[in-house]
């Protein structure tokens, strides 16, 4: 019997490429043969592309006409585990195999030959002449703190020509260096002493250690500051002791220097990092080291899940409820769910950590599918903040002001004691709406069905859908009257004006993702604030994610009702999570904290549940509600989004599909729509949505495949399938 994992020269092999061809193509195995999973270069028309040996050729083509594989690349073959995972995830998310392969091989320069390569980094010299272009290059280098870039990457990030970089090399402001490629990462020492754990923490760590080395999922729940990180680092230690690799996923913004420093303190060396702020040279190195087993721990954003680990034994998904784990463009997937899937293929343990778990994970723990560990108290002296509502119906508040007298008093009280206060408002920009006082027209985006948000800091109106911006016009674009355009409602920039007026002596910091050019710049500011560089912090939801502000003792939520307005099925859950996360920012050190929630409906069940602190009661009520409606996690959903330059064909396809729902009905699934999407146009493309609902056990993907096969989708139209949708916009 032939060995199915090795192909002799001239054997027929099928090669999957990341090219949008739809299916693997047949080639002949090269001289010297090749392994199943090998990364290879194959001719495709006039080009050469990278592919993976996917299996035995399907034999449909004449052997004599097949072209041979050009060469086998110098990287370890893709392991069965990853191949199986990509296949299964592709089936689940209904993504083509080439698109799945692209997820796993997206690093530029990945397959160039090893050796050394020239990189560019910050030098000690000073440019003999300052120009704007040169300043841009230096800024990118500064923002990345000493990291080395390839020339083309640096030029592109700075938006300059490579000549500008070369010019800086002459003066020594930028340094050219030969970087040996693909150095292994320093070894981590799992046996360095960790912190002495509390009894609660110790029990949790023991329980996780007991589950090491086998597939299983544990929900690790505990308020912010209870020591979840300390506990799961012990699971990492156990995994490393077993000689396997560990992956810690964090929401991108939580990937902080603080976290890396903690890992370094625990294990004596830094882990591999994988996120958008990492240079291509470093990403290539990490990808290869993951495959060789020469990086033991990777800390990364969601796409780190597709690294070719040699032996992955643990995946931690921190802040598992975070919505940024759902990729909403390209391949639509939830990295939390896919972590569980990948772990099942490689016998890895999964730890889902959160102070406010998603209802999905909570329900899986209730059903006994996941183990659950609760950390009950905050570590040390820090206590959970007290939470109170401020009933805005009873607060005398001037027009164009949003901070109630009660909240003003509380802030004054804190800052006079040298403590910090945070004002939370989940709205970027200056004002969410710009209206014409003459005709009532609201300024919208030319390409999207969205109102434009004034960003005074940029002095422009910005569309939060597509990012398009334009100067604030002097005259109303509808009626032409001048000087009548007025901002309506607050964003964080406008709130900052009110803060400056009310607390003229306070040092104020505004934390909003759009005010920082890079993640690193944002993180540096956060570190300075944590050291005490501001008295009042104004922030959007980026402040809710895992930063430590030891001096912070008051959180004021400007509009606790904001998230309750949407018709989203998860509106209550999201509000509950966000409010608790934000409140958890206060009182992390020795000083107790208070959270004050401004609300016009303090009697709303969600606001009451937040204030009462009875989380289990909230989840039980929310679960009962969802079960009654048959919606996730007690039912299944898929969103179908049709988009294209013309509206008419979208509805034609949608209506045609709506007439032919037999394949759906056969499995008891129901179709809703087609209807214009709530955001009916993005970047000039119209959008039409359909929603399919089914019972939990229904074979949804198979039914969708059979149903959608009936549609003829022209090239101009894109049909996207969103399994387990998070967003309904």
Q: Which residues bind ligand ADP (CB under 6 A)?
A: 195-198, 201, 222, 224-230, 379
Assign 287 to helix, strand or coil: helix
**Closest CB 469 distance from Zn ion, rounded Å:** 9
**Closest CB 530 distance from ligand ADP, rounded Å:** 11
Beta strands in 303-415 (DSSP E): 312-318, 326-327, 333-334, 349-354, 371-375, 386-391
Q: Which does 228 bind (CB under 5 to 8 A by kind): Zn ion, ligand ADP, none?
A: ligand ADP
**Closest CB 441 distance from Zn ion, rounded Å:** 17
Q: Which structure tokens are listed for 703?
A: 């039914």
**Closest CB 522 distance from ligand ADP, rounded Å:** 19
Strand partners, 710: none
Q: Using CA atoms, how far apart are residues 325 and 414, in angstroms rounded to an integer? A: 35
Stretch of 82-90, 441-449, 548-556, 609-617 contacting Zn ion, by CB under 5 A: 441-449
Spatial contact of 538 and 496, defined as CB atoms under 8 Å apart: yes
Q: What is the DSSP string of 197-258?
A: PPHHHHHHHHHHHHTTTS-EEEEEEE-TTSSHHHHHHHHHHHHHHTT-EEEEE--GGG--HH
Nearer to ligand ADP among residue 80 and residue 531 (C-beta): 531
Nearer to Zn ion among residue 448 and residue 538 (C-beta): 448
Phi, psi torsion values for 379, nearest 5 degrees = -70, 145
**Closest CB 221 distance from ligand ADP, rounded Å:** 10
Strand partners, 666: none
**Closest CB 462 distance from Zn ion, rounded Å:** 9
Q: In the window 446-475, what residues touch Zn ion (CB under 5 A)?
A: 447-448, 463, 465-466, 468
* b/e sequence 577-605, b meaning 16+ C-beta within 10 Å: bbbbbbbbbbbbbebebbbbbbbebbebe
CA 98, 103, 109, 113: dihedral to nearest 10 degrees?
Answer: -70
| Chain centroid offset of residue 253 CA | 8
Nearer to ligand ADP among residue 225 and residue 654 (C-beta): 225
Q: Which does 273 bind (CB under 5 to 8 A by kind): ligand ADP, Zn ion, none?
A: none
**Closest CB 351 distance from ligand ADP, rounded Å:** 12
Nearer to ligand ADP among residue 195 and residue 666 (C-beta): 195
Q: Which does 465 bind (CB under 5 to 8 A by kind): ligand ADP, Zn ion, none?
A: Zn ion
Q: Which of 149, 152, 114, 107 is nearest to 287 (CA)?
A: 107
Nearer to ligand ADP among residue 201 and residue 279 (C-beta): 201
Q: Which does 448 bind (CB under 5 to 8 A by kind): Zn ion, ligand ADP, none?
A: Zn ion
Assign 650 to helix, strand or coil: helix
445 binds Zn ion (CB under 5 A): yes
Instruction: Count other C-beta atoms under 10 Å from residue 648's C-beta.
Output: 9
Q: Which does 360 bind (CB under 5 to 8 A by kind): Zn ion, ligand ADP, none?
A: none
429 binds Zn ion (CB under 5 A): no
239 binds Zn ion (CB under 5 A): no
Q: Which structure tokens are listed for 175?
A: 């340094």
Cβ partners under 8 Å of residue 202, min gap 6: none
Per rule CB under 5 A, count of chain residues that contact Zn ion? 7
Q: Using CA atoms, how far apart are residues 653 and 511, in angstroms rounded to an integer? A: 44
Nearer to ligand ADP among residue 266 and residue 681 (C-beta): 266
Q: Which does 216 bind (CB under 5 to 8 A by kind): ligand ADP, Zn ion, none?
A: none
**Closest CB 684 distance from Zn ion, rounded Å:** 9
CA distances from 445 to 101, 346, 470, 526 (A): 36, 47, 9, 32
Q: Which does 225 bind (CB under 5 to 8 A by kind): ligand ADP, Zn ion, none?
A: ligand ADP
Nearer to Zn ion among residue 466 and residue 526 (C-beta): 466
Q: Which of 572, 625, 546, 613 is nearest to 363 (CA)?
A: 625
Nearer to ligand ADP among residue 117 and residue 266 (C-beta): 266
Q: Which does 13 bind (CB under 5 to 8 A by kind): Zn ion, ligand ADP, none?
A: none
**Closest CB 402 distance from ligand ADP, rounded Å:** 30
DSSP H or E run through 632: none
Q: Which does 226 bind (CB under 5 to 8 A by kind): ligand ADP, Zn ion, none?
A: ligand ADP
Q: Which does 105 bind (CB under 5 to 8 A by kind): Zn ion, ligand ADP, none?
A: none
* Binding residues vs Zn ion (CB under 5 A): 445, 447-448, 463, 465-466, 468
């Amino acid at each position: 019997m032939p060995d199915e994992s090795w192909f002799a020269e001239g054997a027929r092999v099928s090669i999957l490429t990341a090219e949008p061809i739809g299916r693997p193509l047949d080639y002949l195995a090269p001289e010297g043969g090749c392994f199943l999973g090998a990364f290879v270069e194959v001719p495709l028309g006039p080009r050469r592309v990278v592919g993976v040996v996917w299996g035995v050729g399907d034999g449909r083509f004449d052997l004599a006409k097949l072209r041979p594989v050009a060469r086998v690349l110098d990287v370890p073959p893709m392991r069965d585990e990853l191949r199986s995972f990509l296949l299964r995830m592709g089936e689940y998310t209904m993504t083509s195999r080439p698109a799945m392969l692209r997820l796993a091989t997206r690093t530029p320069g990945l397959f160039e030959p090893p050796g050394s390569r020239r990189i560019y980094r910050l030098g000690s010299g000073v440019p003999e002449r300052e120009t704007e272009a040169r300043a841009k290059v230096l800024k990118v280098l500064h923002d990345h703190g000493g990291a080395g870039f390839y020339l083309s990457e640096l030029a592109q990030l700075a938006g300059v020509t490579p000549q500008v970089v070369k010019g800086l090399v002459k003066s020594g402001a930028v340094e050219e260096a030969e970087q040996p490629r693909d150095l292994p990462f320093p070894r981590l020492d799992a046996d360095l002493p960790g912190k002495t754990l509390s009894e609660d923490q110790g029990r949790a760590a023991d329980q996780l250690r007991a589950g090491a080395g086998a597939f299983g999922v544990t929900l690790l729940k505990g308020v912010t500051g209870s020591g979840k990180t300390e506990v799961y680092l012990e699971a990492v230690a156990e995994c490393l002791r077993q000689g396997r690799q560990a992956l810690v996923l964090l929401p991108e913004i939580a990937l902080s220097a603080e976290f890396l420093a903690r890992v370094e303190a625990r294990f004596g060396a830094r882990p591999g990092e994988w996120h958008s702020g990492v240079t291509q040279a470093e990403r290539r190195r990490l990808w290869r080291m993951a495959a060789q087993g020469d990086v033991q721990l990777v800390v990364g954003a969601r796409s780190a899940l597709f690294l070719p680990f040699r032996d992955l034994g643990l995946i931690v998904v921190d802040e598992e409820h975070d919505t940024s784990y759902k990729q909403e463009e390209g391949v639509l997937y939830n990295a939390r769910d896919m972590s569980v899937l990948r772990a099942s293929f490689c016998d890895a343990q999964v730890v889902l950590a959160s102070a406010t778990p998603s209802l999905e994970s909570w329900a899986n723990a209730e059903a006994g599918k996941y183990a659950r560990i609760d950390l009950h108290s905050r570590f040390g002296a820090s206590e959970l903040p007290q939470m109170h509502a401020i009933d805005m119906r009873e607060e005398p508040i001037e027009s164009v002001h949003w901070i109630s007298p009660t909240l003003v008093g509380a802030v004054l009280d804190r800052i006079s004691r040298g403590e910090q206060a945070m004002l939370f408002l989940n709205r970027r920009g200056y004002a969410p709406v710009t209206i014409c006082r003459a005709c009532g027209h609201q300024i919208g985006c030319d390409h999207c069905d969205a109102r434009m948000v004034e960003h005074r800091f940029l002095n422009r109106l910005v569309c939060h859908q597509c990012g398009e911006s334009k100067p604030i016009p002097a005259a109303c674009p509808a009626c032409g009257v001048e000087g009548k355009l007025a901002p309506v409602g607050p964003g964080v920039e406008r709130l900052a004006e009110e803060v400056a007026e009310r607390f003229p002596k306070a040092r104020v910091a505004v934390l909003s993702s759009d005010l920082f050019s890079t993640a690193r710049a944002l993180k540096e500011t956060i570190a300075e604030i944590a050291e005490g560089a501001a008295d009042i912090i104004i922030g959007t939801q980026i402040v809710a994610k895992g930063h430590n502000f030891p001096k912070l003792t008051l959180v004021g939520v400007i509009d606790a009702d904001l998230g309750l307005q949407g018709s989203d099925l998860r509106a209550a859950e999201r509000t509950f999570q966000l409010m608790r996360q934000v409140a958890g920012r206060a009182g992390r050190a020795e000083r107790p904290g208070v959270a004050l929630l401004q609300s016009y409906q303090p009697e709303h069940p969600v606001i009451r549940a937040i204030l009462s602190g009875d989380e289990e009661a909230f989840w039980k009520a929310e679960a009962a509600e969802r079960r009654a409606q048959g919606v996730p996690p007690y039912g299944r959903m898929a969103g179908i989004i049709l988009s294209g330059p013309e509206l008419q064909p979208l509805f034609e396809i949608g209506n045609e599909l709506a007439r032919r729902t037999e394949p759906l009905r056969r499995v008891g699934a129901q179709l809703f729509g087609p209807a214009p999407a709530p955001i009916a146009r993005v970047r000039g493309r119209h959008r039409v949505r359909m929603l399919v609902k089914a019972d939990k056990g229904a074979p949804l993907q198979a039914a969708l495949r059979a149903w959608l096969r009936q549609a003829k989708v022209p090239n101009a139209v894109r049909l996207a399938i969103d399994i387990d949708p998070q967003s309904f916009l």
